[in-house]
Structure 1
Amino acid sequence: MSISGITNTALSGMRAQTPRIGAIANNVANSSTSGYARLNTSLTSVASGGVQATVSPTASDVDPATELTDLLQAEQSYKANAVVFETGADMWEMLMSIKRD
């Protein structure tokens, strides 16, 4: 895999966490609303590399412990993808430095 492929995959991972965190925030905000359908985020791999998020309502109730766990998981996933992206950017910078010399 190329450096740009690695950074693009990491970027898609970070982008996928945005709707996931939004769904979690929506679930917490509407946890007391009667008839509210909890939003669930599904992550699927994309053929070109990376991941895509799909948010859909479920029939389950909002559980604060589940939402907190999901939020922590989304945060860690975002951070891991950010580290990969930064490493890829550093590798790219090093490669350009070697090429100039």
Structure 2
Amino acid sequence: MGISAIMGVAASGMQAQTTRLSAAASNVANALTPAYDRRVTSFSTTESGGVFASVRPSGEATPDGGSNVDLASEIMDATSAEVGFKANAAVWETGAEIWDVLMSIKRD
């Protein structure tokens, strides 16, 4: 796998974590909306080795006059998305640095 492919995988990971964070934010924003069904994020791999995130309603029962959003779970999900994004960003930045080194060697 080349450097550009690794950077592509890291970029897809950052995008997937952004989708995950967006779903958690939507859940928090709608926590008091009657009959709101929380959104859950699912991850799947792509042919290029990256990751894709999709969001769908949970399908869980909602209490009368309320929603099925657990704020503690949403905070944990948002925190996990932050950690995942940072990890993918570190991989992308390392790939960019290696790319710069290789380009400077090529020029010399």
| TM-score, length of structure 1 as denominator length | 0.97
Partner amino acid for 1:79? Answer: K
Between Structure 1 and Structure 2, the one with more helix by share is 1
Runs of 4+ in 1 over 2 A off after TM superposition: none
Q: Normalising by the residue count of structure 2, what TM-score does the alignment of the two structures yield?
A: 0.90
Count, aligned residues: 101
Is it true that 1:93 corresponds to 2:94 in the alignment?
A: no
Gaps of 5+ in 1: none
Paired with 1:80 and 1:49, the residues of 2 have a C-alpha distance of 16
Q: Which amino acid aligns with 2:81?
A: A
SS in 2 for 1:47: coil
Q: For residues 38-92 of structure 1, what are the alpha-carbon distances to aligned partners after superposition, in whole Å with 9 as ceiling and x for unaligned?
A: 0000011111110000000013311011001000000000000000000000000
**Alignment of 1:11 onto 2:11:** yes
Identity over aligned residues, as a percent?
Answer: 53
The structure having more radius of gyration, on CA atoms, is 2
Query: What runs of 5+ residues in structure 2 fail to find an aligned partner?
Result: 61-67
**TM-aligned CA deviation for residue 17 of structure 1:** 1.4
Alignment of 1:71 onto 2:87? no
Match of 1:84 in 2: 91
| In 1, Cα distance between equivalents of 2:59 and 2:51 | 25
